[in-house]
Amino acid sequence: MKRLLTLISLILISSLSYSQIDKKVLKSNSKTLSIKENGILKKDEWTIVPEKRPDIYLTNYKNQNITFYSDVDSIIFLVEQNNKIQFNVILNSKDTALTEIIYQRPFLEILKTASIYDTCRINKKIKFKYQSKNNSHLKSLRKYFKLDSIAGDGDEVSQLINLMNWLHNKVEHNGTNGNPKIKNAQSMLTVCSKEKRGLNCRGLAIAYNECCLSMGFKSRIIVCLPKDSLKMDNDCHVINSVFVNKLNKWIWIDPTFNSFVMDENNNLLGIQEVRDRLINNKYLKISSNANWNNKNKAQINEYLYNYMAKNLYYLQCPTKSKYNMETRKIWKVLANSLNYVTLIPKECNKYFTNFIFKETTNPEV
């Protein structure tokens, strides 16, 4: 009897141990996982990287459940501020990816600490230049894709929206595979069509930028960067800022999410206006058809108040907006002529030391 009880106890302990281990394992046959947090399901949000140990996922939601979904399995955890959550993703029954979930305070709280710029630090304005639509490469782009017809005969805003819709529907966003080596709109869009591939947000912004330049608009790519106080976030987002003469202002255009941003009176907003309104809790709304790859409708809380709040800490853009400006084989030639300016909040002591970068804490430059 004693031996029987001992055997039963061992079986129970073994079963319990297996159950506890099993709860910390997620099986997957795909490298991408979907994640549900704060009640929102984000499809294909996470890419498994077995080489990182651990591969860290940051969440802004504490005292809530977070669920990871693979193509064959799911796993759920309660996130608390100081607890350490680790689990293994078993990829294709052979590769193990150690994954860790870490709570970070909401990005909007972090952004609100960066509301002030030092407008006295740089007195000299930085000159921005925009290539003429008569440039031979831009003329070729306009003719090849019949951008005049795509933009239409409406006002400036309708033309910009038509161009954004066209690009959004023509090329999917793919943030995992980089961009083609030749980084101009005509070349990238041709490669994407031929190879059935997508572009990351930077590639889409570059393509849209050149389309706008070819139509005579002043346009910039804007690299939106996080503070990343934990030194774990390599993600940024790249959008466009385009000048509308009729409105006498720059407006926010995001070809990745087919999005522009408005106030309570449906006035189109620029990047700095959106940033200020986020910080000061003022009304914002996004375009009704904002979406990712025509699959997932963009949710304003996730898109603006979380993702873009994270990425609006620093803003960076080139001083010259032109055709083929980021093709690497010509960077040595461009090093003396193509500068990037980074707008830095007053509270920050981080500087971008790359030789082609300048810094400013003055948004008026």
Tell me whether residue 233 is in a domain.
yes
Distances (CA, A) of 217 to 70, 242, 349: 44, 7, 35
How does pLDDT run across 324-343, given as a tens digit for each residue? Answer: 999 876 545 544 456 888 88
Boundary residue ending a domain (56, 76, 103):
103
How does pLDDT run across 192-211, given as a tens digit for each residue? Answer: 999 999 999 999 999 999 99
Show the low-confidence residues of the chain (pLDDT under 70): 1-23, 119-124, 229-232, 329-338, 349-365
Tell me whether residue 2 is in a domain.
no
The DSSP bridge partners found for residue 26 are 89
339 and 232 part of one domain:
yes
- Structural domain span for residue 136: 110-360
CA distance 187 to 15: 58
With residue 112 as reference, give the H or E element that holds it. Answer: helix 107-112
Summary count for the chain: helices (H), strands (E):
11, 20
213 and 328 part of one domain:
yes
Tell me whether residue 182 is in a domain.
yes
303 and 185 part of one domain:
yes
Tell me whether residue 6 is in a domain.
no
126 and 90 part of one domain:
no
Tell me whether residue 328 is in a domain.
yes
33 and 127 part of one domain:
no
Tell me whether residue 265 is in a domain.
yes
142 and 95 part of one domain:
no
Tell me whether residue 16 is in a domain.
no
Boundary residue ending a domain (42, 73, 103):
103
pLDDT value, residue 329 = 60
177 and 52 part of one domain:
no
Backbone angles phi and psi of 188, in degrees to 5: -65, -45
Q: Which two tokens stand for residue 352?
A: 């971008």
The DSSP bridge partners found for residue 320 are 129
Backbone angles phi and psi of 192, in degrees to 5: -60, -40
64 and 147 part of one domain:
no
231 and 278 part of one domain:
yes
Tell me whether residue 365 is in a domain.
no
How does pLDDT run across 286-309, given as a tens digit for each residue? Answer: 999 999 999 989 999 999 999 999
pLDDT value, residue 165 = 98
Specify whether the backbone of 249 is left (phi greater than 0), alpha (psi in -120 to 50) or beta.
beta
Boundary residue ending a domain (80, 103, 126):
103
Judge if the upstream peptide bond of residue 54 is cis by omega within 30 degrees of 0.
yes
Q: Which two tokens stand for residue 198?
A: 């997508």
206 and 340 part of one domain:
yes
90 and 125 part of one domain:
no
With residue 41 as reference, give the H or E element that holds it. Answer: strand 40-47
Distances (CA, A) of 322 to 16, 38, 150, 181, 219: 63, 41, 21, 17, 9
What pTM was computed for the model? Answer: 0.79
183 and 62 part of one domain:
no
The DSSP bridge partners found for residue 249 are 244
HEC profile for 57-92?
Answer: EEECCCCEEEEEECCCCEEEEEECCCCCEEEEEEEC
Q: Which two tokens stand for residue 150?
A: 């795509």
CA distance 107 to 326: 29
CA distance 332 to 132: 23
Backbone angles phi and psi of 118, in degrees to 5: -95, 95
pLDDT value, residue 105 = 86
Nearest Cα residue to 255 out of 226, 283, 221: 221
pLDDT value, residue 336 = 46
Q: What sign results for the dihedral spanned by CA atoms 137, 142, 144, 145?
A: positive
Number of domains present in the structure of the chain: 2
